[in-house]
Chains A and B, each alone.
Chain A
Amino acid sequence: MNWLSNNAKAFLRGVADLSPNCKAAARLQSEALDHRLTFRQRVGLRFHLMLCKWCRRYGKQIMFVRNAAKAHPDEMATAVPERLSEAARERIRQKLRSRTN
Protein backbone atom coordinates (compact mmCIF):
# COMPACT_ATOMS: atom_id res chain seq x y z
CA MET A 1 0.00 0.00 0.00
CA ASN A 2 2.84 2.28 0.88
CA TRP A 3 4.38 1.52 -2.47
CA LEU A 4 1.15 2.51 -4.22
CA SER A 5 0.72 5.77 -2.34
CA ASN A 6 4.36 6.69 -2.94
CA ASN A 7 3.96 6.11 -6.62
CA ALA A 8 0.69 8.00 -6.70
CA LYS A 9 2.39 10.91 -4.98
CA ALA A 10 5.28 10.85 -7.40
CA PHE A 11 2.83 10.77 -10.28
CA LEU A 12 0.87 13.73 -8.95
CA ARG A 13 4.07 15.64 -8.36
CA GLY A 14 5.08 14.94 -11.94
CA VAL A 15 1.76 16.21 -13.19
CA ALA A 16 2.00 19.28 -10.99
CA ASP A 17 5.45 19.99 -12.40
CA LEU A 18 4.03 19.74 -15.87
CA SER A 19 1.10 22.00 -15.13
CA PRO A 20 1.88 25.69 -15.35
CA ASN A 21 0.63 28.20 -12.79
CA CYS A 22 -2.08 30.66 -13.80
CA LYS A 23 0.33 33.38 -14.77
CA ALA A 24 2.20 31.04 -17.07
CA ALA A 25 -1.08 29.60 -18.34
CA ALA A 26 -2.20 33.09 -19.36
CA ARG A 27 0.98 33.51 -21.37
CA LEU A 28 0.66 30.09 -22.95
CA GLN A 29 -2.96 30.64 -23.92
CA SER A 30 -1.96 33.86 -25.63
CA GLU A 31 0.99 32.24 -27.39
CA ALA A 32 -1.25 29.43 -28.58
CA LEU A 33 -3.03 32.07 -30.66
CA ASP A 34 0.22 32.90 -32.44
CA HIS A 35 2.15 29.67 -32.79
CA ARG A 36 1.99 25.97 -32.03
CA LEU A 37 3.02 25.18 -28.48
CA THR A 38 5.40 22.34 -27.71
CA PHE A 39 3.88 18.98 -26.78
CA ARG A 40 4.86 19.47 -23.15
CA GLN A 41 3.31 22.95 -23.07
CA ARG A 42 0.10 21.66 -24.61
CA VAL A 43 -0.26 18.80 -22.16
CA GLY A 44 0.51 21.03 -19.18
CA LEU A 45 -1.89 23.71 -20.30
CA ARG A 46 -4.66 21.21 -21.03
CA PHE A 47 -4.21 19.74 -17.57
CA HIS A 48 -4.23 23.15 -15.91
CA LEU A 49 -7.37 24.22 -17.76
CA MET A 50 -9.19 21.09 -16.60
CA LEU A 51 -8.76 22.26 -13.04
CA CYS A 52 -8.91 26.03 -13.27
CA LYS A 53 -12.04 27.90 -14.25
CA TRP A 54 -10.34 31.31 -14.06
CA CYS A 55 -7.89 30.33 -16.74
CA ARG A 56 -10.65 28.79 -18.84
CA ARG A 57 -12.45 32.13 -18.69
CA TYR A 58 -9.26 33.98 -19.49
CA GLY A 59 -8.70 31.91 -22.61
CA LYS A 60 -12.29 32.27 -23.72
CA GLN A 61 -12.18 36.03 -23.23
CA ILE A 62 -8.97 36.76 -25.13
CA MET A 63 -10.41 34.59 -27.91
CA PHE A 64 -13.61 36.63 -27.81
CA VAL A 65 -11.64 39.87 -28.07
CA ARG A 66 -9.67 38.51 -31.02
CA ASN A 67 -12.75 37.31 -32.90
CA ALA A 68 -14.65 40.51 -32.15
CA ALA A 69 -11.82 42.69 -33.44
CA LYS A 70 -11.26 40.64 -36.56
CA ALA A 71 -14.92 40.58 -37.52
CA HIS A 72 -15.60 44.28 -36.88
CA PRO A 73 -12.92 46.43 -38.47
CA ASP A 74 -15.56 48.96 -39.54
CA GLU A 75 -17.00 49.35 -36.07
CA MET A 76 -13.51 49.78 -34.69
CA ALA A 77 -12.54 52.47 -37.16
CA THR A 78 -15.86 54.26 -36.82
CA ALA A 79 -15.47 54.38 -33.03
CA VAL A 80 -12.49 56.70 -33.42
CA PRO A 81 -14.00 60.05 -32.38
CA GLU A 82 -11.71 62.32 -34.42
CA ARG A 83 -12.71 63.40 -37.91
CA LEU A 84 -10.82 64.70 -40.91
CA SER A 85 -10.42 68.44 -40.31
CA GLU A 86 -11.94 71.01 -42.63
CA ALA A 87 -8.48 72.32 -43.50
CA ALA A 88 -7.26 68.86 -44.47
CA ARG A 89 -10.39 68.26 -46.54
CA GLU A 90 -9.84 71.44 -48.47
CA ARG A 91 -6.17 70.71 -48.99
CA ILE A 92 -6.88 67.21 -50.27
CA ARG A 93 -9.68 68.43 -52.55
CA GLN A 94 -7.37 70.98 -54.12
CA LYS A 95 -4.67 68.36 -54.64
CA LEU A 96 -7.17 66.09 -56.34
CA ARG A 97 -8.46 68.95 -58.48
CA SER A 98 -4.96 69.88 -59.61
CA ARG A 99 -4.34 66.28 -60.66
CA THR A 100 -7.60 65.76 -62.50
CA ASN A 101 -7.54 68.94 -64.56
Chain B
Amino acid sequence: MQADGDTAPRQPLPAEGKPANHGLSDPERWVELYGDYLFKYALMRLRDPARAEDAVQETFLAALKGGKSFAGRSAEKSWLVGILKNKIYDHYRKTSRETNFTDLEFYADEESDRFVADGLLKDGWIHELGPQEWSSPGASLDSEVFWKTFHDCSNKLPKNIAAVFNLREVDGAESKEICRLLNISESNLWVMLHRARMALRRCLETNWFAKPGMSE
Protein backbone atom coordinates (compact mmCIF):
# COMPACT_ATOMS: atom_id res chain seq x y z
CA MET B 1 0.00 0.00 0.00
CA GLN B 2 1.26 3.42 -0.93
CA ALA B 3 0.89 6.23 1.53
CA ASP B 4 -1.17 9.22 0.48
CA GLY B 5 1.97 11.33 0.51
CA ASP B 6 3.36 9.37 -2.41
CA THR B 7 2.97 11.69 -5.34
CA ALA B 8 4.86 9.68 -7.96
CA PRO B 9 2.76 10.16 -11.07
CA ARG B 10 1.38 6.82 -12.12
CA GLN B 11 0.76 6.64 -15.82
CA PRO B 12 -2.93 6.74 -16.52
CA LEU B 13 -4.14 3.96 -18.75
CA PRO B 14 -4.51 4.99 -22.37
CA ALA B 15 -7.91 6.57 -22.29
CA GLU B 16 -8.67 6.56 -26.00
CA GLY B 17 -9.48 10.18 -26.32
CA LYS B 18 -11.56 10.35 -23.17
CA PRO B 19 -10.50 12.61 -20.34
CA ALA B 20 -8.99 10.85 -17.36
CA ASN B 21 -11.81 10.02 -14.98
CA HIS B 22 -10.85 11.61 -11.67
CA GLY B 23 -7.73 9.48 -11.40
CA LEU B 24 -9.64 6.25 -11.80
CA SER B 25 -8.56 3.55 -14.17
CA ASP B 26 -10.49 3.43 -17.42
CA PRO B 27 -14.02 2.26 -16.50
CA GLU B 28 -14.02 -0.17 -19.40
CA ARG B 29 -11.17 -1.98 -17.77
CA TRP B 30 -13.08 -2.32 -14.49
CA VAL B 31 -14.84 -5.38 -15.86
CA GLU B 32 -11.50 -7.13 -16.40
CA LEU B 33 -9.92 -5.85 -13.21
CA TYR B 34 -12.73 -6.29 -10.72
CA GLY B 35 -15.62 -8.04 -12.49
CA ASP B 36 -14.90 -11.52 -11.17
CA TYR B 37 -14.10 -10.42 -7.66
CA LEU B 38 -17.21 -8.29 -7.30
CA PHE B 39 -19.36 -11.02 -8.83
CA LYS B 40 -18.02 -13.61 -6.37
CA TYR B 41 -18.48 -11.18 -3.49
CA ALA B 42 -22.09 -10.59 -4.51
CA LEU B 43 -22.88 -14.22 -5.29
CA MET B 44 -21.64 -15.34 -1.89
CA ARG B 45 -24.14 -12.94 -0.30
CA LEU B 46 -27.06 -13.14 -2.70
CA ARG B 47 -26.89 -16.77 -3.88
CA ASP B 48 -28.43 -15.75 -7.19
CA PRO B 49 -26.19 -15.35 -10.26
CA ALA B 50 -28.57 -13.07 -12.16
CA ARG B 51 -28.97 -10.76 -9.18
CA ALA B 52 -25.24 -10.82 -8.56
CA GLU B 53 -24.58 -9.78 -12.17
CA ASP B 54 -27.08 -6.95 -11.83
CA ALA B 55 -25.47 -5.82 -8.60
CA VAL B 56 -22.05 -5.70 -10.28
CA GLN B 57 -23.42 -3.71 -13.20
CA GLU B 58 -25.21 -1.26 -10.91
CA THR B 59 -22.03 -0.88 -8.92
CA PHE B 60 -19.98 0.10 -11.95
CA LEU B 61 -22.64 2.51 -13.17
CA ALA B 62 -22.93 4.14 -9.74
CA ALA B 63 -19.15 4.35 -9.56
CA LEU B 64 -19.03 6.05 -12.93
CA LYS B 65 -21.55 8.61 -11.79
CA GLY B 66 -20.00 9.21 -8.40
CA GLY B 67 -16.39 9.19 -9.54
CA LYS B 68 -15.86 12.58 -7.96
CA SER B 69 -16.24 11.15 -4.50
CA PHE B 70 -13.40 8.79 -5.12
CA ALA B 71 -10.39 9.67 -3.03
CA GLY B 72 -7.41 7.54 -3.95
CA ARG B 73 -6.26 5.27 -6.71
CA SER B 74 -4.86 2.51 -4.54
CA ALA B 75 -8.26 2.06 -2.92
CA GLU B 76 -10.21 1.68 -6.15
CA LYS B 77 -11.18 -1.90 -5.40
CA SER B 78 -12.36 -1.27 -1.85
CA TRP B 79 -14.26 1.77 -3.07
CA LEU B 80 -16.13 -0.44 -5.56
CA VAL B 81 -16.69 -3.11 -2.89
CA GLY B 82 -18.20 -0.43 -0.65
CA ILE B 83 -20.68 0.55 -3.36
CA LEU B 84 -21.51 -3.09 -4.04
CA LYS B 85 -22.07 -3.76 -0.36
CA ASN B 86 -24.67 -1.01 -0.26
CA LYS B 87 -26.41 -2.48 -3.30
CA ILE B 88 -26.52 -5.86 -1.57
CA TYR B 89 -27.90 -4.34 1.63
CA ASP B 90 -30.55 -2.54 -0.43
CA HIS B 91 -31.52 -5.89 -1.82
CA TYR B 92 -31.77 -7.44 1.66
CA ARG B 93 -33.89 -4.51 2.81
CA LYS B 94 -36.24 -4.95 -0.10
CA THR B 95 -36.50 -8.73 0.33
CA SER B 96 -37.18 -8.42 4.04
CA ARG B 97 -40.11 -6.14 3.31
CA GLU B 98 -41.63 -8.66 0.94
CA THR B 99 -40.86 -11.92 2.74
CA ASN B 100 -40.05 -13.03 6.26
CA PHE B 101 -36.31 -13.32 6.70
CA THR B 102 -36.55 -15.38 9.89
CA ASP B 103 -35.58 -19.04 9.56
CA LEU B 104 -36.07 -21.11 12.70
CA GLU B 105 -36.36 -24.39 10.81
CA PHE B 106 -32.74 -24.87 9.91
CA TYR B 107 -30.83 -27.05 12.38
CA ALA B 108 -33.74 -26.84 14.82
CA ASP B 109 -32.58 -30.03 16.54
CA GLU B 110 -29.19 -28.41 17.26
CA GLU B 111 -27.11 -31.55 16.80
CA SER B 112 -29.22 -33.66 19.12
CA ASP B 113 -27.46 -36.70 17.68
CA ARG B 114 -24.29 -35.55 19.40
CA PHE B 115 -25.78 -35.01 22.87
CA VAL B 116 -26.70 -37.59 25.50
CA ALA B 117 -30.38 -38.30 25.01
CA ASP B 118 -31.49 -38.84 28.61
CA GLY B 119 -30.48 -39.63 32.16
CA LEU B 120 -28.28 -37.65 34.48
CA LEU B 121 -26.04 -36.38 31.68
CA LYS B 122 -28.88 -35.44 29.37
CA ASP B 123 -27.80 -32.82 26.82
CA GLY B 124 -24.11 -33.20 27.60
CA TRP B 125 -21.79 -33.85 24.65
CA ILE B 126 -21.34 -37.52 23.86
CA HIS B 127 -17.60 -37.57 24.34
CA GLU B 128 -16.58 -39.30 21.12
CA LEU B 129 -18.90 -37.07 19.10
CA GLY B 130 -18.27 -33.78 20.88
CA PRO B 131 -15.90 -31.10 19.58
CA GLN B 132 -12.47 -32.59 18.89
CA GLU B 133 -9.14 -30.87 19.36
CA TRP B 134 -8.22 -28.88 16.20
CA SER B 135 -4.51 -29.02 15.62
CA SER B 136 -2.89 -25.69 14.73
CA PRO B 137 -6.02 -24.17 13.18
CA GLY B 138 -4.20 -20.91 12.47
CA ALA B 139 -2.05 -22.60 9.83
CA SER B 140 -5.18 -23.39 7.80
CA LEU B 141 -5.80 -19.73 7.10
CA ASP B 142 -3.05 -19.64 4.48
CA SER B 143 -4.43 -22.61 2.63
CA GLU B 144 -6.53 -22.07 -0.46
CA VAL B 145 -8.03 -25.52 0.05
CA PHE B 146 -9.17 -24.53 3.53
CA TRP B 147 -11.11 -21.57 2.11
CA LYS B 148 -12.58 -23.81 -0.53
CA THR B 149 -13.79 -26.09 2.27
CA PHE B 150 -15.07 -23.07 4.20
CA HIS B 151 -16.98 -21.96 1.13
CA ASP B 152 -18.49 -25.40 0.56
CA CYS B 153 -19.60 -25.51 4.20
CA SER B 154 -21.14 -22.06 4.24
CA ASN B 155 -22.76 -22.75 0.88
CA LYS B 156 -24.67 -25.59 2.56
CA LEU B 157 -26.35 -23.14 4.94
CA PRO B 158 -29.78 -21.99 3.80
CA LYS B 159 -29.77 -18.59 2.10
CA ASN B 160 -31.10 -16.51 4.99
CA ILE B 161 -28.96 -18.27 7.58
CA ALA B 162 -25.89 -17.66 5.43
CA ALA B 163 -26.93 -14.03 5.02
CA VAL B 164 -27.02 -13.37 8.77
CA PHE B 165 -23.76 -15.23 9.23
CA ASN B 166 -22.06 -13.15 6.55
CA LEU B 167 -23.47 -9.92 7.91
CA ARG B 168 -22.45 -10.66 11.48
CA GLU B 169 -19.23 -12.64 11.16
CA VAL B 170 -17.73 -11.51 7.86
CA ASP B 171 -18.93 -7.91 7.65
CA GLY B 172 -18.93 -7.46 11.42
CA ALA B 173 -22.30 -5.67 11.49
CA GLU B 174 -23.92 -5.10 14.88
CA SER B 175 -26.92 -7.24 15.91
CA LYS B 176 -29.25 -4.25 16.06
CA GLU B 177 -28.18 -3.06 12.64
CA ILE B 178 -28.84 -6.51 11.15
CA CYS B 179 -32.25 -6.72 12.80
CA ARG B 180 -33.22 -3.34 11.35
CA LEU B 181 -31.95 -4.28 7.92
CA LEU B 182 -33.68 -7.66 7.80
CA ASN B 183 -36.69 -6.74 9.89
CA ILE B 184 -36.22 -9.64 12.34
CA SER B 185 -36.16 -9.79 16.13
CA GLU B 186 -32.90 -9.94 18.05
CA SER B 187 -33.73 -13.21 19.75
CA ASN B 188 -34.47 -14.82 16.39
CA LEU B 189 -31.23 -13.45 15.00
CA TRP B 190 -29.31 -15.02 17.89
CA VAL B 191 -30.95 -18.38 17.30
CA MET B 192 -30.10 -18.21 13.58
CA LEU B 193 -26.50 -17.22 14.29
CA HIS B 194 -26.10 -19.97 16.89
CA ARG B 195 -27.28 -22.61 14.44
CA ALA B 196 -25.14 -21.21 11.65
CA ARG B 197 -22.05 -21.34 13.85
CA MET B 198 -22.90 -24.81 15.08
CA ALA B 199 -23.43 -26.20 11.59
CA LEU B 200 -20.35 -24.51 10.18
CA ARG B 201 -18.15 -25.66 13.04
CA ARG B 202 -19.27 -29.23 12.56
CA CYS B 203 -18.83 -29.10 8.79
CA LEU B 204 -15.31 -27.69 9.11
CA GLU B 205 -14.40 -30.30 11.69
CA THR B 206 -15.68 -33.14 9.51
CA ASN B 207 -14.27 -31.89 6.23
CA TRP B 208 -11.07 -30.25 7.30
CA PHE B 209 -9.81 -30.62 10.85
CA ALA B 210 -10.67 -34.29 11.27
CA LYS B 211 -9.29 -35.24 7.86
CA PRO B 212 -5.83 -36.72 8.18
CA GLY B 213 -3.22 -34.53 6.59
CA MET B 214 -5.56 -31.64 5.83
CA SER B 215 -4.82 -29.31 8.69
CA GLU B 216 -1.18 -30.26 9.14
| Chain A residues within 8 Å of B, Cβ to Cβ | 21-24, 26-27, 30-31, 33-35, 52, 54-55, 57-58, 61-62, 64-66, 68-73, 75-85, 88-89, 91-93, 95-97, 99-100
Q: Are B28 and A82 in contact (CB under 8 A)?
A: no
Q: Are A23 and B64 in contact (CB under 8 A)?
A: no
- The docked-state distance in angstroms from the alpha carbon of A68 to that of B35 is 25
Q: Are A54 and B131 in contact (CB under 8 A)?
A: yes
- The docked-state distance in angstroms from the alpha carbon of A43 to that of B18 is 66
Q: Are A76 and B147 in contact (CB under 8 A)?
A: yes
Q: Are A96 and B31 in contact (CB under 8 A)?
A: yes
Apart from A82-B40, A88-B57, 14 more pairs, CB < 8 Å: A22-B124, A30-B198, A31-B194, A34-B190, A52-B124, A58-B125, A58-B130, A61-B205, A66-B197, A72-B141, A75-B144, A80-B40, A88-B53, A95-B60
Chain B min CB distance to A78 (Å): 6
| Chain B residues within 8 Å of A, Cβ to Cβ | 18, 21, 27-28, 30-31, 35-41, 43-44, 49, 53, 56-57, 60-61, 64-65, 110, 115, 122-125, 127, 130-134, 137, 140-141, 144, 147-148, 150-151, 168-172, 175, 186, 189-190, 193-194, 197-198, 200-201, 204-205
What are 10 pairs between A and B in contact, CB < 8 Å? A26-B110, A27-B110, A30-B190, A33-B197, A66-B169, A73-B170, A75-B141, A80-B44, A96-B27, A99-B65
Chain B residues within an 8 Å CB radius of A100: 18, 21, 27-28, 64
Q: Are A57 and B133 in contact (CB under 8 A)?
A: yes
Q: Are A92 and B198 in contact (CB under 8 A)?
A: no
| A76 in contact with B28 given A30-B197, A61-B201, A69-B169 (CB within 8 Å) | no
Q: Are A89 and B28 in contact (CB under 8 A)?
A: no
| A21 in contact with B122 given A34-B193, A79-B147, A100-B64 (CB within 8 Å) | yes
Chain B residues within an 8 Å CB radius of A22: 115, 123-125, 130
Looking across the interface, which residue of chain A has its beta carbon closest to that of B197?
A: A62
Looking across the interface, which residue of chain A has its beta carbon closest to that of B127?
A: A54
Looking across the interface, which residue of chain A has its beta carbon closest to that of B132?
A: A57
- The docked-state distance in angstroms from the alpha carbon of A85 to that of B204 is 30
- The docked-state distance in angstroms from the alpha carbon of A39 to that of B198 is 24
